[in-house]
Chain A
């Protein structure tokens, strides 16, 4: 576990060159993290633009065409260039370590997958400088997204960028699946893998089977826009609804792609900080697989109001998906029950995830009921739902993972005080922003409006949401400061600062290039716990 640095002189020995040419999964994981933070800043600023305009009725700061670009690109950036890559990056860093492997199965394809992300992000963002970014919503429904109604270059750039970032995901999924199926250390049977790894596997299956369908839709839209195609143009025999079906066939599983690895992170943290094994390991595996499978059967619940959907099927499947999600929630609580809980920052963010995802899951059930969806579809109720599950859920889980694995990645501890400050401001900000949106939706405020009537009764709630939004932005400041000072001066972490259960803690922080000098015996899903307490493996009930 030597940590001396031996580098060649000159350009080839520089750290920058190292990172630009690396195929090491750990460095690639860090690259993913850096890229995601940069796009988080961009997506966050876009959101603040939206919230600033909506704080008061009237168009004070921008016209509609700018506003429409802001919310379209905010959603696109957050989904494709922040949440999905953040989780892929955590997976990249952690999965080979957790299964006792030396790297991913295809390291060079791994590097290619990463570099496609900032490249494609630049393409999408370039729209802002080339006559207008995409502005038809991230859902890009034709005919609005077709050439007649969106003639600018932004939509074409957006299509190309999303195709690229989707391809990056697909290659990553192939990599994860082959790695997990073929490169586990001896003794690590499938049912001894950490739940984090299980969630990455199921997510990879969703990516593999869902993302290509989005690619096909995007290509058809591109042909419609640029080559006179008729796929989605009703005036020449095409179907506007066809886009919605193909688009949502991917985009619904996409939300599970965005949350399942987050649930994996939580499933790593809660047992460690409760000093108990994960309650119901097998239930977690089946619930994860169940959510993945069911996730492919609900897409048309985004289309209940179109009059073109077989409502009973999609409604019942949407209701059903609440069940495995609930199973996970109860199992996490049971893990904490009668434990010895320590409220370090990773655990705080994990608890935040539980509470916020609970709200997001519950308000989603309302929309599973078709008549209720008639009332709340395309309103701020849905914006509330989206952000409770994606921000309160996925993003808080990403933060939890960051605070948990930062010591492993860097060898330094993050400051607890700053971490708690980040958590507190984020929780207040997030709830102040999104809780009022339930009411706004019920009162009838539709989504994607640049302005609203001053007499509708929506003024105060919008102002509150804007204040909350700025708080959310501010909450990231302690985090960045924390990272900066901890990298320079943080306490040494050592290999296992949290008394972890899984293999990544059985090597130095950061690990050597080949990951492990030695592996402990693997006889349960907590090999390090067993080694520490001299147990010879108590496989879960």
Chain B
């Protein structure tokens, strides 16, 4: 019979030989992350020592003290030993207290707030299921989509302050190569500061389960030189917005979409080519779908699939749509519409159910 202890020993050896890197986090790319990485190594060394020692004792005792056929009588019936108890209580106690103090040192640096040393401030807003990165000082806003992850650009070797705001549910701003994450908690604003010390592009992802597309809430952080950063700022800063009404195109109907409504400038219009002027007046991306429907928008609410919080688009008679567009964007959509009853809506998960629809009647000419 294969000794199970030997099996365990084999696994341990395999782990050690088979990939030391597998047991360590990626190399940190921030100053704070480097401290965390070193702390990890300290904990790991102590953990490895304890594991080898204790597992070794288990395996050794099973091998050495295996009952043999010629064992007569009972082994010595030792009940305990106070000295040993004290030793193996005190030593681990000292060890964990030591680890606690080492951790506190690192924590003091990682969580430090030094507003006077901060050179770049960014605001991160998380919502189901993407991110908005804002540079308030320059008025820059970057919206991510599932197909196009947003990128946060920061200069190397400078102290960056990040503000975290949750729009709807809990999210987590997690960058593995920073060895760091911080939650976005609705109703509360979180902050942290970091100093990148390596150039490059680093991936991040939402780490707090936030519903259907939690797995698609990715982003990147790109660390560049100060010169590159300044150039990027210039490139990204938006032109001043025109002061007049944003819909500068001749539209039959204008529609304003926001959380949580679709406001049409009229409840009906004539059949034929109908041009919609669309404005996203909200804080997150929306879409605009025109659906032919005998049921009103309110009646259609009953058909929301609770599993996805959306209408099943295959069951809808959709004439056309404007796919996701960002807050502040203006789009036009021209469709050929026959007389009848229609509903215009946004079918991003949860949006329709929250009220983003309007009824529209197309009348005969």
A282 close to B (CB within 8 Å): yes
A148 to B353, CA, bound (A): 9
Given contacts A365-B43, A423-B4, contact A322 B51 (CB under 8 A): no
Partner of B353 from the list A142, A151, A341 (CB cut-off 8 Å) is: A151
> Complex: how many Å from CA A142 to CA B187?
12
Evaluate contact between A369 and B99: CB separation under 8 angstroms: yes
Total A-B pairs in contact (CB under 8 Å)?
311
Q: Contact check, A312 vs B39: say whether CB atoms are below 8 A apart.
A: no
A448 with B209: CB separation less than 8 A: yes
A355, B55: Cβ atoms closer than 8 Å: yes
Mark the stretch among A215-223, A234-242, A261-269, A505-513 that contacts chain B.
A234-242
- Indicate if the CB atoms of A323 and B92 lie closer than 8 Å: yes
Q: Say whether B229 faces chain A, with CB atoms less than 8 Å apart.
A: no
Residue with the highest number of chain A CB atoms closer than 10 Å, among B75, B187, B188: B187
CB pair A315 B169 closer than 8 Å: no
Q: A276-B75, A449-B214 are in contact. Are A132 and B307 (CB under 8 A)?
A: yes
A348 at the interface (CB under 8 A from B): yes
In the complex, which of the residues B1, B68, B78 contacts A277, with contact meaning CB atoms closer than 8 Å?
B78
A366 contacts which of B5, B15, B47, B107 (Cβ < 8 Å)? B47
- Given known contacts A143-B169, A144-B170, A305-B183, is B11 in contact with A137 (CB within 8 Å)? no
> Closest chain A residue to B190 by CB distance?
A307
Within 440-488 of A, Cβ neighbours of B (below 8 Å) are at: 442-444, 446-453, 456
Q: Which of A316, A355, A365 has the most CB of B within 10 A?
A: A355
Contact A64 B205 (CB under 8 A): no
The interface bits of chain B over 190-217 (1 if a CB of A lies within 8 angstroms of the residue's CB, else 0) are 1100000000000101111111111110
Contacts of A327 in B (CB 8 A): 85, 88-89, 92
Interface residues of A in 178-198 (CB under 8 A from B): none
Contact of B75 among A66, A339, A343, A424 (CB under 8 A): A339
A331 to B51, CA, bound (A): 16
B84: contacting residue among A137, A143, A334, A365, CB under 8 A: A334
Nearest CB in chain B to that of A142: its residue: B169
Q: How far is the CA of A111 from the CA of B179 in the complex (A)?
A: 50
- Report how far A308 CA is from B111 CA in the complex, Å: 13
Stretch at the interface among B20-28, B235-243, B267-275: B20-28
Of the 9-residue stretches A20-28, A373-381, A489-497, which lies at the interface with chain B? Answer: A373-381
Contact A283 B74 (CB under 8 A): no
Q: Is A281 on the interface with B (CB-CB < 8 A)?
A: yes
Q: How far is the CB of A84 from chain B (nearest CB, A)?
A: 23
Which A residues lie within 8 Å of B107 (CB)? Answer: 311, 370-371
Which residues of chain A from 354 to 403 have a CB within 8 Å of any chain B CB? Answer: 354-355, 358-359, 362-363, 365-366, 368-372, 374-375, 377-379
Distance from A236 Cβ to chain B, minimum over Cβ atoms (Å): 10
Q: When the two chains form their complex, are residues A143 and B168 in contact, meaning their CB atoms are under 8 A apart?
A: yes
Nearest CB of A to B12, in Å = 9
A176 CA to B185 CA, complexed, in Å: 40
Considering the complex, which residues of chain A in the window 289-333 have a beta carbon less than 8 Å from any beta carbon of chain B? 305-308, 311-312, 315-316, 319-320, 322-323, 326-327, 329-331, 333
Expressed in whole angstroms, the Cα–Cα distance for A143 and B76 within the complex equals 60
Chain A residue with the shortest CB-CB distance to B24: A442
In contact, A444 and B174 (Cβ under 8 angstroms): yes
CB closest chain-B residue, reference A356:
B8
Partner of A540, one of B79, B88, B100, B210: B79
CA distance A194 to B191 in the complex (A): 51
Q: Is the CB of A355 within 8 A of B8?
A: yes
Q: Which of A88-118 contact B (CB under 8 A)?
A: none
B209: which A residues are within 8 A, CB to CB? 136-137, 141, 144, 378, 447-448
* Inter-subunit contact A240/B4 (CB<8 Å): no
Q: Is B7 at the interface (CB under 8 A from chain A)? A: yes
Interface residues on A, range: 35 or more
Residues of A within 8 A of B7 (CB): 424, 427-428
Q: Determine the chain B residues whose CB is within 8 A of the CB of A338 once the complex forms.
A: 65, 75-76, 78
Closest residue on chain B to residue A366 by CB atoms: B43
| B350 interface residue (CB < 8 Å to A) | yes
A129 and B76 CA atoms in complex are apart in Å by 60
A342 interface residue, CB < 8 Å from B?
yes
Asked whether any CB of chain B lies closer than 8 Å to the CB of A438, the reply is yes
Alpha-carbon distance A315/B97, docked complex (angstroms): 10
A63 to B212, CA, bound (A): 9
Q: Tell me whether A541 and B350 are in contact in the complex, defined as CB-CB below 8 angstroms, given that A131-B306, A308-B188, A341-B67 are known contacts.
A: no
* Chain B residues whose CB sits within 8 angstroms of the CB of A453 once the complex forms: 218
Task: Check A362 against B51 for contact (C-beta < 8 Å).
Answer: yes
Chain A CB within 8 A of B54 CB: yes
Q: Mask for A54-84, Cβ within 8 A of B = 1, else 0? A: 0000000001111010000000000000000
A15 is an interface residue with CB less than 8 A from chain B: no
Q: Decide yes or no whether A431 CB sits under 8 A from chain B.
A: yes
Give Cα distance in the complex from A370 to B2, angstroms: 41
Q: Please, how many angstroms separate the alpha-carbon atoms of A371 and B328 in the complex? A: 39
Q: Is B16 an interface residue (CB 8 A)?
A: no
| Chain A residues within an 8 Å CB radius of B65 | 274, 336-341
Q: Choose among B4, B78, B176, B216 the residue that contacts A348 (Cβ–Cβ < 8 A).
A: B4
Cβ of A375 and Cβ of B62 under 8 Å apart? no
Instruction: List residues 327-365 of chain B with CB under 8 A from any CB of chain A.
Output: 350, 353-354
Task: Give every chain B residue within 8 A of A420 (Cβ-Cβ).
Answer: 1
- The reply to whether the CB of A435 lies closer than 8 angstroms to some CB of chain B is yes
A365 in contact with B47 given A340-B75, A375-B180, A442-B24 (CB within 8 Å): yes
Contact A372 B36 (CB under 8 A): yes
B225 contacts A by Cβ under 8 Å: no
Q: Are B185 and A439 in contact, with the CB atoms below 8 A?
A: no
Q: Is A439 in contact with B23, judged by CB distance below 8 angstroms?
A: yes
Chain B, interface SS category: mixed
Q: A352: CB under 8 A from chain B?
A: yes
CB distance B306 to A151 under 8 Å? yes
Interface residue from A305, A369, A444 paired with B39 (Cβ < 8 Å): A369
Most buried by A among B26, B75, B214: B214
Known contacts A144-B170, A378-B207; is-contact A275 B4 (Cβ 8 Å): no
Bound-state CA distance A452–B217 (Å) is: 11
Q: Is the CB of B181 within 8 A of A330?
A: no
A240 touches B186 (CB 8 A): yes
Residues from chain B with Cβ under 8 Å of A241 in the complex: 185, 187-188
Let me know if B106 is at the binding interface, CB within 8 A. yes
Closest to B308 in A: A65
Q: Would you call B309 and A151 a contact (CB within 8 A)?
A: yes
Is B13 part of the binding interface, using a Cβ–Cβ cutoff of 8 Å?
A: no
- Across the interface, do A443 and B66 meet the contact criterion of CB distance under 8 Å? no
A279 in the interface (beta carbon within 8 A): yes
B215–A306 CB distance below 8 A: no
What does the 1/0 interface line of A400-419 toward B look like (CB < 8 Å)?
00000000000000000000
Minimum CB distance partner of A144 in chain B: B169
For the complex formed, measure the closest distance between the CB of B97 and the CB atoms of chain A, giving whole angstroms. Answer: 7
Instruction: State how many angstroms separate the Cβ of B131 from the closest Cβ of chain A.
Output: 15
Q: Could you tell me if B88 and A326 are in contact, using CB atoms closer than 8 angstroms?
A: yes
Q: Which of B77, B128, B169, B307 contacts A152 (CB 8 A)?
A: B307
- Asked if B93 lies at the interface with its beta carbon under 8 angstroms from chain A, I say yes
Partner of B186 from the list A143, A368, A439, A448 (CB cut-off 8 Å) is: A143
25 A-B residue pairings within 8 Å (CB atoms): A64-B213, A66-B307, A132-B306, A136-B211, A144-B169, A149-B309, A151-B353, A280-B80, A281-B79, A311-B107, A311-B111, A319-B100, A323-B96, A333-B58, A334-B78, A337-B65, A341-B61, A341-B62, A341-B67, A343-B62, A362-B51, A374-B110, A377-B207, A439-B23, A449-B205
Apart from A336-B62, A442-B23, what are 17 other A-B pairs with CB-CB below 8 Å? A144-B170, A149-B128, A149-B211, A240-B186, A277-B78, A279-B81, A307-B182, A326-B92, A336-B65, A338-B75, A340-B75, A362-B50, A371-B110, A420-B1, A435-B15, A438-B23, A538-B79
Complex A-B, nearest 5 residue pairs according to Cβ-Cβ distance, in ascending order: A234-B187, A444-B176, A449-B215, A152-B306, A375-B179
